[in-house]
Amino acid sequence: MGCNKVVIKLGGSLITDKSNPHTVNWESLNDVIDQIARFHNKYDSKIVLVHGGGSFGHYEVERIKKNKSIIDKVATSEIQESMLTLALAVIKLLVNSGIPASLHPAHTICNTNNAKNCNYMPIIRDLNNGLIPVTYGDAIFDNEGKIISGDDLSVEISNIINSDCLFFATDVEGILDEKGNLIKEVNKNYKITIINRAQFDVTGGIISKINKAFNSKSSNIRILSGKKLFNALIGEDVGTRIIN
């Protein structure tokens, strides 16, 4: 069965070029937005989009931490600026595809980097009015600059809106074992030995993504390739299914 209400997290590795600072992977971003538009135009489903930091936010945090022991106000602002630049690229392509997207930077709705401490009402309002709200991992100044992860936002939003689907779209097929083969299902008892591909990922990488995903109450949780997002949205069994 396809998704009626879905939270889609577009991973930074999918939509940016992680080997080049501040670089959007336009080909990949275009492809994934095309799939979302195709799904949106065909089905009457509710969609919330969340995206990660990739070579924008994560790169900035790493750069700042090399020179400063804490993320101060100026650094917070630099991270926010870089994330807003990436968010505008996402919004631009959505709008160009005729998608009624609305932008909700996390630093405008959250009080700190705990995703439970955010005001999701503007997102819920837009969702109920047929828009596609977009939010993203961000920097928030709370005594010092703190990083809120897009994964945490995705899980929290999935629970608050009661989504049936929660998809983490990445640049690989899903969770891969040490031989590079796709693991089809992961439950809490599964002992995960995976290839760690994290490159400047300040919010935890794949293991923490899996652990966070277990906290969602959605019935269909997947880590999957961005190339197969449409297939997952219409109910096909792609990527790694997280059984919570």
Q: Examine residue 155 and tell whether it contacts ligand IP8 (CB under 6 A).
A: no
CA atoms of 47 and 233, how far apart (whole Å)? 10
Cβ at position 136, least distance to ligand IP8 in Å? 7
Residues 6+ apart with CB under 8 A from 75: 64, 68, 139, 145
Q: Examine residue 57 and tell whether it contacts ligand IP8 (CB under 6 A).
A: yes
Return the CA Rg of the chain.
17
Q: Examine residue 239 and tell whether it contacts ligand IP8 (CB under 6 A).
A: no
Residue 22 or 38: the one with the smaller Cβ distance to ligand IP8 is 22
Question: Is residue 30 classed as helix, strand or coil in its secondary structure?
Answer: helix
What letter does residue 173 receive in the DSSP assignment? S
CA atoms of 127 and 137, how far apart (whole Å)? 19
Q: Examine residue 226 and tell whether it contacts ligand IP8 (CB under 6 A).
A: no
Residue 84's identity, in one-letter code, is L
Phi first, then psi: give them for residue 23, nearest 5 degrees.
-125, 125
Q: Examine residue 12 and tell whether it contacts ligand IP8 (CB under 6 A).
A: yes
Sequence ranges of the binding site for substrate = 53, 58, 150
Residue 58 or 104: the one with the smaller Cβ distance to ligand IP8 is 58
Token reading at 119:
């005001």
Q: Examine residue 138 and tell whether it contacts ligand IP8 (CB under 6 A).
A: yes
Token reading at 126:
């837009």
Cβ at position 58, least distance to ligand IP8 in Å? 5
Q: Examine residue 149 and tell whether it contacts ligand IP8 (CB under 6 A).
A: yes
- Closest residue by beta carbon to ligand IP8: 137
CA atoms of 68 and 81, how far apart (whole Å)? 18
Q: Which of 10, 86, 127, 147 binds ligand IP8 (CB under 6 A)?
A: 147
Q: Which of 28, 158, 170, 203 binds ligand IP8 (CB under 6 A)?
A: 203
Residues 6+ apart with CB under 8 A from 198: 205, 206
Q: Which of 137, 174, 226, 239 binds ligand IP8 (CB under 6 A)?
A: 137
- The closest alpha carbon to 126, from 217, 9, 37, 46, belongs to 46
Residue 193's identity, in one-letter code, is T
- String of contacts with ligand IP8 for each residue 64-93, x by CB under 6 A: ---------------x---x----------
Q: Examine residue 58 and tell whether it contacts ligand IP8 (CB under 6 A).
A: yes
User: Judged by CB under 6 A, which stretch of 40-48, 115-123, 145-153, 228-236 contacts ligand IP8?
Assistant: 145-153
- The closest alpha carbon to 216, from 193, 195, 244, belongs to 244
Q: Examine residue 8 and tell whether it contacts ligand IP8 (CB under 6 A).
A: no
Contact positions toward ligand IP8, by CB under 6 A?
12, 52-53, 57-58, 61, 79, 83, 137-139, 147, 149-151, 202-203
